[in-house]
Amino acid sequence: MANKALLVGINDYAPVGPGGPDLRGCVNDVRDMAHTFNALGIVAAAPAAMRILTDERATRAAILEGFEWLLNGAARGDVLIFHYSGHGSQVVDVSGDEPDGRDETICPHDFATAGMITDDDFRVRLKGLAPGFNLDIFLDSCHSGTGTREMAALGAATDEPTVVYRYIEPPVDWGYFIEANPSLPLRPLLKPDAEETPGELGTRETVAVRRMNHVLWAGCRHNQTSAEASIGGSFRGAFTYYYCQALRRAGVSITRRRLDSLVSADLAKNGYSQVPQLEGNTTALGQKVFT
C-alpha cells in the first residue's frame, strides 16, 4: 500500500520574475498541505512519497509527468493526493468532444506558451484505473471571473490589494467564443459523464456522483472565484488554509462530508464568499478522509 502526494503551487508565472500574472500565496499553500499531511501521518515528507512543484518548475510537462507518477502502479488501498494552487481559467472545447462546450482549466507556469491543462488532459490519465484506490484532488483556483469582492473586514484599505483572485482570462482565440456564447454552462474541470448528473454540479456544497473514480475538493463553486489573502501574517489561499486548519483540529477520523462542512463554515465566518465544492461517489463522501 502506497501513500503519495503531488503538490503544485505557482506564484511566479512566466516570464520568470516580475512581469507575469503572479500570485503570492500558492507556495505557502504547498507548505501548509505538506506540513499537514506529514504531521497527521497521511503522506510522509520524503521524496519517494511526496513531490513538490513550484513556480518555474511547475511547467505543463512537469505537472502532467508528476500526475502520471502519482497514478503509476495505483492499487487497492493506495492513498493518492493531487493538490494545485494557482490560476484557473476557462476555454471553449475546441476539440468538439464535450457536450457542454466549455472546460475549466488550471494554468501551469508556462501556460502562455505551452497551454493550459484541461479536463481532457486529466481524463485520459484517469480512465481505466483499477478500482479500490483513493485519489483526492484539490484545486485551489478560480473557475470563472464573476466572483464578487470580499468583505472589507478582510483587510485595511491600502494601495496594495489585500485580496487577490486566482483567475486568468482565457486567450482570445478561445475566450472570444465564451463571450459570444454566454449561455454555455459552467462545468467543473474534472467532470464525470454529463448525462449522469444533469443540473447537479456546482449547485450544492457536496455532490454525489455515481461512477466518479476520485474525490474532488474545489476551492469554490464553478461560477465563483477562489481568493488568496493575508492570513496569519502571510499570503495564502483561503480554501487551503481553512482546510488544513479544520483537518488538523478534527484529525483523520472525520468523514469527507463533515470536513467539507467545517471548511465551508470557517470560510463564511471569516468573510469569504466562495463556497467549496466536494464531489465524489456516495461511498467515498461518507468515508473517513483519505480512505
Catalytically active residues, by annotation:
87, 142
Does a cis peptide bond (omega within 30 degrees of 0) precede residue 108?
A: no
Q: How far apart are CA 35 and CA 31, in angstroms?
A: 6
Residues forming beta bridges with residue 208, ordered by sequence position = 280
Sign of the alpha-carbon dihedral angle for 270, 24, 42, 288? positive
Burial 225-264 (b: 16+ CB within 10 A, else e): bbbbbbbeeebbbbbbbbbbbbbeeeeeebbbbbbbbbbb
Residues forming beta bridges with residue 79, ordered by sequence position = 3, 134
Helices (H), 207-280: 238-250, 256-269
Q: How far apart are CA 2 and CA 162, in angstroms?
A: 40
Q: How far apart are CA 15 and CA 38, in angstroms?
A: 32
Residue 289: how many CB atoms within 10 A of its CB?
21
Question: Order of strands, edge to edge, in the sheet holding 163-165?
Answer: 163-165, 227-231, 234-237
Cell numbers for 291: 480512505
Per DSSP bridges, beta strands 163-165 and 227-231 are antiparallel
DSSP string, 49-63: TEEEEEGGG--HHHH
